[in-house]
Amino acid sequence: MGVDFNLQREFDIIAIGRACIDLNAVEYNRPMEETMTFRKYVGGSPANIAIGISRLGLKAGFIGKLADDQHGRFIRQYMSDAGVDTSHMVIDREGHKTGLAFTEIKSPEECSILMYRDEVADLYLQPSEVSEDYIKRSKILLVSGTALAKSPSREAVLKAVQLARKNDVKVVFELDYRPYTWVSEAETSVYYTFVAEQSDVVIGTRGEYDVMENRQDGKNEETVCHLFGHSPELVVIKHGVDGSYAYTKSGEIFKGQSYKTKVLKTFGAGDSYASAFLYALIKGKDIETALKYGSASAAIVVSKHSSSEAMPTVHEIEQLISERAEEKS
């Protein structure tokens, strides 16, 4: 049970993909048109996960491309200060920009994001900038689906997956589907299917698996049946407030509950979930416990203003789990 990692490896996780800037509304509970001030945070799913993993005391690295400007330098400094190894974050020399996400928080239920993803530096990561020597120092390669949205980042990620498999590095695929940048859902489906089939662990929402399968209202059973015909040994499918399911190749099914909390916004829930869930797996905890860690971490982040900066410590996660356990009993 659980996933067997190569424990000799120095890094727990190396994430690949985007590291961007979130510009979160300082004045919220209103439409963005009426928000006059924005606060800057590091954002982007794989960056958040690497920061979250590092906050939990594990060793994270990052493969990505940063703009050669003030935003790019801020991101590198912030991640480095957070304990993430940034030695393989390369600097773009062709004038590409840092991706931006302006967040609008009308209410806890109505959050939206205004993205700037045209010509962003992270999508210009080249296959030649992905190092086999680096990847093979890690237990896990964490792949974010958005990094597959465009060439040459797409090929850089595909190469990283090939190198991970060649070097006994577990591939964790966080579907992280964002419609912008992709040309069509048919295109997304092709690449998500290829990468999911070659991954060891796949994590996503039911809606994201539907995109991968290019269908609507897909069934978990069919999804896992297909994936277990290939490399995956663990598949996590999240159903929002209805909780999440973890399926193992050996046939087990685990259900995770979400923890109720005072929600400020929904951003960052998935990233905090992934980092705590993976933390627990790496620490050798059973899948049931890992699901609790994921849910607790998500509950903490959605109650706070940022995603990256709000990533909890192990103590905070375990405290919330034990408090809720006591309430129940």
Residues at the contact surface with a copy of itself, assessed by CB under 8 A: 23, 26, 31-33, 35-40, 69-71, 73-74, 77, 95, 97, 100, 102, 104, 114, 116, 118-119, 126-128, 151-152, 155, 158-159, 162, 180, 183-184, 186-187, 189-191, 193-194
**Cβ-based nearer residue to a copy of itself, 39 or 255:** 39
Distance (Å, whole) CA 287 – CA 290:
5
Alpha carbon 104 to its chain centroid, in Å, reads: 21
For the CB of residue 175, give the shortest distance to a copy of itself in the complex, in Å. 17
Would you say 228 and 202 are in contact if contact means Cβ atoms under 8 Å apart? no
With b for 16 or more beta-carbon neighbours within 10 A and e for fewer, the 175-212 pattern comes to bbbbeebbeebeebbebbbebbebbbbbbbbbbbbbbb
Contact (Cβ atoms closer than 8 angstroms) between residue 35 and residue 161: no
Within 10 angstroms of residue 84's Cβ, the number of other Cβ atoms is 26
**In terms of Cα–Cα distance, which of 275, 268, 273 is closest to 257?**
273
Name the minimum Å distance from CB 222 to a copy of itself: 13
User: For a copy of itself, which is the closer residue by CB, 180 or 253?
Assistant: 180
Nearer to a copy of itself, 18 or 238 (CB): 18
Residue among 59 and 159 whose Cβ is closer to a copy of itself: 159
Cα(149)–Cα(192) distance, integer angstroms: 10
Complex with a copy of itself: residue 183 or 241, whichever CB lies closer: 183
**Cα distance from N-terminal residue to C-terminal residue, the chain:** 27
Please name the amino acid found at residue 233.
E
In whole angstroms, how close is the CB of 241 to a copy of itself at the nearest point?
27
Q: Residue type at 225?
A: C
Question: What is the distance between the alpha carbons of residues 301 and 259, in angstroms, rounded to a whole number?
Answer: 12
Residues shown for the chain: 329
Please report how close the Cβ of residue 70 comes to a copy of itself at its closest, in angstroms. 4
27 vs 242 by CB, closer to a copy of itself = 27
Q: Which is nearer to a copy of itself, 158 or 301 (CB)?
A: 158
Q: How many CB atoms lie within 10 A of CB 104?
A: 19
Query: In the complex, what is the shortest distance from the CB of residue 258 to a copy of itself, in angstroms, rounded to a whole number?
Result: 29
Q: Residue 5 and residue 138: Cα distance in Å, rounded?
A: 9
Task: State in angstroms the smallest separation of the CB of 315 from a copy of itself.
Answer: 26
H/E segment holding residue 326 = helix 314-328
Cis amide bond preceding 152, omega within 30: yes
CA dihedral sign, ordered 112, 114, 117, 121? negative
- Residue number, 193 or 319, with CB nearest to a copy of itself: 193
Tell the smallest beta-carbon distance from residue 88 to a copy of itself (Å).
Answer: 16
User: At closest approach, how far in Å is the CB of 26 from a copy of itself?
Assistant: 7
- Residue 189 or 261 with smaller CB distance to a copy of itself: 189
CB of 288 to a copy of itself, least distance (A): 33
